[in-house]
Chain A
Amino acid sequence: DSGVTQTPKHLITATGQRVTLRCSPRSGDLSVYWYQQSLDQGLQFLIQYYNGEERAKGNILERFSAQQFPDLHSELNLSSLELGDSALYFCASSLAGASDTQYFGPGTRLTVL
């Protein structure tokens, strides 16, 4: 158990809908990272937050957004969902982002029908 929690574990929704994925980092960790793993793309970095502020952006679609709240939990919002958004979404956390190991949560499996 990495100490990173993600909810829900599974999510099934329809095209065009909007969903929110939630991540709670390990106690004391200030940095949260979001990754997407689809069958054809592998694990890809989406976005990072550090202590409430966006720190780095990867291949994140404009339909996707994230935020980190004062209690340091983070949410990833996915809107106007398409079939291709079906994937595993992982959250990772680290103490500060610099020189720190990232620990991953168990992931949320999103299925868009």
Chain B
Amino acid sequence: DAKTTQPPSMDCAEGRAANLPCNHSTISGNEYVYWYRQIHSQGPQYIIHGLKNNETNEMASLIITEDRKSSTLILPHATLRDTAVYYCIVRVNNAGNMLTFGGGTRLMVKP
């Protein structure tokens, strides 16, 4: 699976949009971009994933650049409960394909 690069930490004001970047310059054509988050030692929580088109669900939006070498996870109105470590993972959707977690971005939402 392609490696990803994320900033180690970010701050965001409560109520503002949180934009979390991820670089995956060696991504292959059949690799998806997944985002998970982990709130203080809880189990990782799935947020969203996409291949090449932008995606939106009730939690977040995922913007993938046209060359697919980077993406941005957007939390439109961050709350204190969004404080967590956010992981960007690139993987092929095949049977037996585990998730490879990097260091992630520690997002701190401040009042």
A residues whose Cβ falls under 8 Å from a Cβ of B: 2, 4, 31, 33, 35, 42-45, 48, 50, 55-56, 58, 88, 90, 92, 96-107, 109
Contact = CB atoms under 8 A, between A and B. Distances in A.
Interface in B14-50: 34, 36, 38, 41-46, 49
A-B complex: 7 closest residue pairs judged by Cβ atoms: A104-B43, A45-B98, A56-B96, A43-B101, A98-B95, A99-B93, A97-B95
A106 B40 CA distance: 11
Interface in B90-111: 93-103
24 contacts: A2-B45, A4-B43, A42-B103, A44-B101, A50-B96, A55-B96, A56-B97, A58-B98, A90-B44, A92-B43, A97-B94, A97-B95, A97-B96, A97-B97, A98-B94, A99-B93, A101-B34, A101-B49, A104-B45, A105-B43, A106-B42, A106-B43, A107-B41, A107-B43
B95 A88 contact: no
Contacts of B36: 104
Interface of B: 34, 36, 38, 41-46, 49, 87, 93-103
- Majority DSSP secondary structure for residues of A touching B: strand
A105 B102 CA distance: 19
Nearest to A44: B101
Nearest to A90: B43
B98 A33 contact: yes
B42 A48 contact: no
B96 A48 contact: yes
A88 B36 CA distance: 17
